[in-house]
Amino acid sequence: MNEYQRTSSSLLSAHQKTSHVVNSGISENLSSPIYHPALHLRFSRNCDISDCISKPHWYSNFKGSASFRTNNPPGQSKAKTNMKRPGNVTPAYVGTFALLLCLHSVTADYCKVNHCYNGATCVTGVGEEPFICICADGFGGDTCNLTETGPCSPNPCKNDGSCEVIAPTRRGDVFNEYICKCQPGFKGVHCQINVNDCEKQPCKNGGQCRDLDGDYSCQCPSPYVGKQCQLRCVSLLGMEGGAIVESQISASSVHYGILGLQRWGPELARLNNQGIVNAWTSAAHDKNPWIEINMQKIMRLTGIITQGASRLGTAEYIKAFKVASSLDGNSYITYKVDGQQRDKVFVGNIDNDRTKTNLFDVPIVAQYIRIIPVVCRRACTLRMELLGCELHVYSNMAGCSEPLGMKSRFISDGQLSASSSYRTWGIDTFTWHPQFARLDKVGKTNAWSPAYNNRSEWIQVDLEKTKRLTGIITQGAKDFGVVQFVSVFKVAYSNDGESWSTVKENTGNDKLFQGNTDNNTHKKNVFEPPVYARYVRVIPWEWHERITLRMELLGCDD
């Protein structure tokens, strides 16, 4: 028995039980209301068309013109009734049965929020039926969310939820079985409810959670970063370790001591630097001294470690200082007291040897950072280290600019190879092996140099496992007083040592890195985005005198 046969049977049964019938088969004296759950319609007892016309129960919220569409058995036309004025009488035809709806006893206005879809009109219902949807052409179902092509066209699921028909069943000429699969952060039959993602308190280390549509964000206190504030952004950025090279450090002035023989330059301002001349000191006549570090890309800076030094047996240090920063090296902003407009003065050192750490309440996002002495003891003398991390945190790594081991020999000789090696005067003792290509190596043969000067030569490092590479530092050398260096080079990488890729520009062309201009200065280049590889090759492209290279790789474990 199909849906329409069951409908007809129930209505006939109700008709046969009546004591009196009026108006073409509609019962006048039924003992209880007729309710048909399949059609979701309720028919009142003891009413006829004259009752509904003479004693109408108007819906206060139903005005204008609307249509109610019924689903009919095959072969019978669809009836469509238009109501042209406010009223509560809706004749509906199902097959040959004329039904009279006398809607009454409205207790609440459920249609203040329209529960009906696809342009349908919501009419407040009665009893167990709080509302009725009057569907537009082409739609059906309790809430007019179904179509003749199936319930998923158009998609009834909200917030990018996916609709799936779970059974090819039909009710009349429409499908009626589907489910919505919701995107993370949403729930409900139609994915209409935004889950409060902050209820589970996902933010760690004092982070403040903000609920978003289908997601959340954490406002992290310094120095924490990451999706859940789970990472400490306090990596040493390279003043002490050498990842920040000399060419990145500048100052307003330099002090020259002992008749100008001692130069206390900014390149010496490295934490724990040793030697007689081991720090930066500004010139005595400089009334507005500063020292600046160019990070070569925008970084997140969370703090600074400062240290003084001793000159001619006398302690010198900076007792108080300010910090300024810039994105472009032209326009600078001085760090402010939190929530105020006045410059923050940081407390510095109290002697020449012990370190002092200051963390920034709000991280600084900048490429250039400048330390401005305010109060100095004898002279403004400084050794320092910067704390921070990459602007964009990858995976679980907050910082990734550490030397990987060329200089420290953590990368062993066996991990280095090359296309060829040059021998000065053909003597084996003066062979420029790839294992000599270590940053700052000293000696008569203290770098790698190939047998030939052409673009087919290369030096290779096997890192023994995949690592994240963020940059490279290069350096030239001298051969019996002759200055030699690589001025332009390419970088290739591989995970198997056989298939190679070259670091590219945004245009898709091979990137040409600018190398050195002399034999001794460090030149740093960064990889943006980082490179993930086990094997790395440096391919000289242009050079001075002869291809000669010392280097260090920067990065971290993948």
Task: Specify the DSSP class assigned to residue 77.
Answer: P
Give CA separation, 488 vs 513, 523, 524, in Å: 6, 11, 12
Give CA separation, 469 vs 161, 244, 512, 516, 532, in Å: 39, 16, 17, 20, 6
**Residue 221, in any domain of the structure:** no
Residues 371 and 254 in one domain: yes
Residues 110 and 47 in one domain: yes
Residues 11 and 116 in one domain: yes
Please state whether beta strands 255-257 and 416-418 pair in parallel, antiparallel, or not at all (unpaired): unpaired
The total number of structural domains in the chain stands at 3
Residues 416 and 533 in one domain: yes
Give CA separation, 162 vs 58, 170, 182, in Å: 40, 20, 7
Contact (Cβ atoms closer than 8 angstroms) between residue 371 and residue 317: no
| CATH for 501 | 2.60.120.260
Domain boundaries, position 453: 403-557
**Residue 197, in any domain of the structure:** no
Residue type for position 320: A
Residues 266 and 360 in one domain: yes
The pLDDT profile of the chain, 558 residues, written as one tens digit per residue, is: 444 444 444 444 444 443 333 333 333 333 333 334 433 333 333 333 333 333 333 333 333 333 343 334 444 444 333 333 333 333 333 333 333 344 333 345 778 888 888 788 888 877 677 888 888 777 777 888 777 667 787 788 888 889 888 765 555 544 457 788 888 778 888 888 888 888 889 899 999 999 887 788 898 888 888 888 888 888 889 899 888 989 899 999 999 988 888 999 999 999 999 999 999 999 999 999 999 999 988 999 999 999 999 998 999 999 999 999 999 999 999 999 977 889 999 999 999 999 999 999 889 999 999 999 999 999 999 999 999 988 776 444 556 778 899 998 999 999 999 999 999 888 888 899 999 999 999 988 999 999 999 999 999 999 999 999 999 999 999 988 899 999 999 999 999 999 999 999 989 999 999 999 999 989 999 898 899 999 999 999 999 999 999 999 998 886
Which structure tokens are listed for 331? 């326009």
**Residue 397, in any domain of the structure:** no
Helix (H) or strand (E) holding 3: helix 3-16
Half-sphere exposure of 99 (CA within 13 A, CB side): 24
**Residue 225, in any domain of the structure:** no
Secondary-structure percent of the chain, ordered helix, strand, coil, rounded to 5: 5, 40, 50
Residues 387 and 407 in one domain: no
**Domain final position from 363, 391, 419:** 391
Closest to 432 measured CA to CA, from 408, 410, 468, 457: 457
Closest to 229 measured CA to CA, from 254, 199, 198, 203: 203
> Which residue do the tokens 């294992």 mark?
435
Residue type for position 325: S
Question: How many angstroms separate the CA atoms of 185 and 197, rounded?
Answer: 7
**Residue 166, in any domain of the structure:** no
pTM greater than 0.85 (yes/no): no
Helix (H) or strand (E) holding 537: strand 523-544
Residues 352 and 470 in one domain: no
